[in-house]
Amino acid sequence: MQVFKKINAFDLDFFEDVVGKNFIYSDPEAISNYSKDETTDETLFSSPEVVIKPRTVEEIRKIMKYCYQNNIPVTPRGAGSGLSGGSIPIYGGVVLSFENMNKILEIDEKNMIVVVEPGVITNEINKKLKPYKLFYAGYPMSLETCQIGGNIAENAGGGKAVKYGVTSNYVRGIEFVTASGDLLCFGGKTHKDVSSYDIIHLIVGSEGTLGIVTKIFLKIIPLPKERTLLLAPFNDLSAALNLPTIIFCEMGLMPTSIEIMNRQSLQYAYELSKNSYPYPESPCHILVEIDDNYEESLYKLYTSIGKRMLKENALDVFVADNLLAIEEMWKIRRTIPEALFLFLPDAINEDISVPINRTKDLVDVIKDIGTKYNLVCPIYGHLGDGNLHVTLSPRDKDLWKDKIPKIIYELYKSVVTMGGCLSGEHGIGCKRKDYIPIFYSPEEISLLRKIKYVFDEKGILNPGKIFP
Ligand SMILES: Cc1cc2nc3c(=O)[nH]c(=O)nc-3n(C[C@H](O)[C@H](O)[C@H](O)COP(=O)(O)OP(=O)(O)OC[C@H]3O[C@@H](n4cnc5c(N)ncnc54)[C@H](O)[C@@H]3O)c2cc1C
């Protein structure tokens, strides 16, 4: 257990001198929201000693220099929508919140780059880009609440990852403040850069443990003119799980997303949204979104995918071909996480990623574990990426908390044999760090620790995360 200096009145005075008294909070009520994120396990919650909301890079540098000299832990925080406890200040200390660093600094359409501060709400980027007929494609499903800095730190992805990839595919440059307060910048507006080590992609996904991200250069692309969303209920889960292989390999097509929702996950979303998809009793529903620049080619694409889904025993195929209908269709899918948190508060929520042709094996393992431990198992997620969100909820709560580590261990042991990983998009944080040794050898963990040491030898940056 690391030991850090506790914050005293002298430290608070210093921080207040740096940012001004309106941008620093230490009374328990004002900081209580910063002791948690969207992770449901309350045993992980931990309060900061002070929350600071800097407005400039220079303020961040002064804070980091001071914390480095005085051995004070610093936890960067975006919007707190994380699902692995990444922004929870396990050791107290300072929480740095980027709410006031929320500017889109430049839209450089000629170079297809947008430059942003970390506190920009992700969806704002695309709202600003729309008049230019451009868009940023790496965003997650939580785009309306999360910040781009949080997306960088988690290497978030989801919305359109099948065709367009995740956050890291769009980061062309990154400016960050180190643990000791230096300001570094790698990359920028170039779309190709192989000069030296790829530090950009080391910082992306580092969960705030290697540096404080202060500026991001994102690649932007032309906004496709047309979109269509297909909804298909299936009677046979196995046939639905096989769809990505059919669409990619046999049909040679690349939709923007292929999502799966089993009946258990949808029933909670129906209850919360007071709305339902057609065929609510079928074992699962599939959403396939496609985009293109031309109406005729889009029509050809979605009719061929629709026909193929019917051939694979879809009960029906529903087409949403205008923005309003598309959003309506997505709404129920987007309600699922909130509904599960609400109706299954004791559940384990995991974020498993396996090779796309192994999702059926993963679902079989979940079914077996569900039967063995008497669990309800809603499953939904990004089928086209092999990334399923797995919820395991007890029917019988007796001794449930004691059983959780054993169940997760059993699940992850099977995931390893499928060539899968610990988290597809939500990260390790403090929630999953104890399971890292299931996936990495001691030598691999040792390399990860050495990298952390190079960036932050005192371990003050977001301590208590990633490493067991
Ligand atoms: C309903 C719902 C749906 C979701 N859907 C998706 C999805 O589709 N795909 C997906 O990937 N995730 C999803 N998430 C998870 C979450 O939204 C993402 O992980 C998101 O990237 C977190 O962003 P945030 O701004 O909330 O960051 P936070 O939760 O505040 O922090 C996340 C991590 O980023 C670090 N951090 C934040 N800002 C900085 C910075 N400037 N510099 C360095 N480190 C920083 C924090 O220390 C922490 O480790 C979903 C969450 C919810 C609640």
* Ligand 1 pocket member 96 (CB < 6 A): no
* Average pLDDT of the segment spanning 107-130: 98
Question: Per-residue pLDDT tens for 326-349?
Answer: 999 999 999 999 999 999 999 999
pLDDT given at position 21: 96
Distance 55 CA to ligand 1 centre (A): 20
- Bridge-based pairing of strands 104-108 and 183-187 is unpaired
Query: Residue 24: phi, psi to the nearest 5?
Result: -140, 135
Average pLDDT over residues 84-112: 98
Query: What is the spatial distance between Cα 286 and Cα 234, in angstroms, rounded to a whole number?
Result: 8
* Ligand 1 atom showing the smallest separation from residue 38 Cα: 53
Phi, psi at 214, each rounded to 5°:
-120, -20
Position in ligand 1 atom list of the atom nearest CA 207: 49
What does the alpha-carbon distance between residue 20 and residue 34 come to, in Å, rounded to a whole number? 20
The type of residue at 217 is F
Best residue among 39, 116, 141, 289 to mutate for probing ligand 1, ranked by most atoms within 8 Å of CB: 141
Ligand 1 pocket, residue 73 CB under 6 Å: no
Residue whose Cα lies nearest atom 53 of ligand 1: it is: 81
Whether residue 160 has pLDDT greater than 80: yes
Q: Is 349 in the pocket of ligand 1 (CB under 6 A)?
A: no
Task: Provide mean pLDDT across the span 95-101.
Answer: 98
Q: Which residues pair with 213 in a beta bridge?
A: 176
pTM of the model: 0.96
- The DSSP 8-state label assigned to residue 247 in this structure reads I
Q: What is the pLDDT of residue 398?
A: 86
Question: How many of the other CB atoms lie within 10 Å of CB of 441?
Answer: 9
- Note whether 405 and 433 are within 8 A (CB): no
**Residue 146 Cβ contacting ligand 1 at under 6 Å:** yes
Query: Is residue 464 within 6 Å of ligand 1 at its C-beta?
Result: no
Mean pLDDT of all residues in the chain?
Answer: 97
Average pLDDT over residues 408-434: 97
Query: How many Cβ atoms from other residues are within 10 Å of residue 257's Cβ?
Result: 24
Q: Is 306 helix (H, G, I), strand (E, B) or coil?
A: helix
Query: Is residue 312 within a helix (H) or strand (E), and if so which, with residue range?
Result: none
Closest atom of ligand 1 relative to the 382 alpha carbon: 8
- Ligand 1 closest atom vs CA 211: 43
Alpha carbons within 13 angstroms on the beta-carbon side of residue 29 total 0
The total of other beta-carbon atoms located within 10 Å of residue 370's CB is 19
pLDDT at 283: 97
> Contact at 8 Å (CB) between 427 and 150?
no
Residue nearest to atom 9 of ligand 1 (CA): 140
Our mutation pick for probing the ligand 1 site, out of 34, 83, 162, counting the most ligand atoms within 8 A of Cβ, is 83
Nearest CA to 177 out of 205, 213, 209, 148 is that of: 213
Kindly give the number of the ligand 1 atom that is closest to the alpha carbon of 213: 42
Closest ligand 1 atom, CA of 81? 26
Ligand 1 contacts CB of residue 314 (under 6 A): no
Ligand 1: distance of its center to the CA of 9 in Å? Answer: 32
147: Cβ below 6 Å to ligand 1?
yes
Reported as a pLDDT band with limits 50, 70 and 90, residue 159 is confident
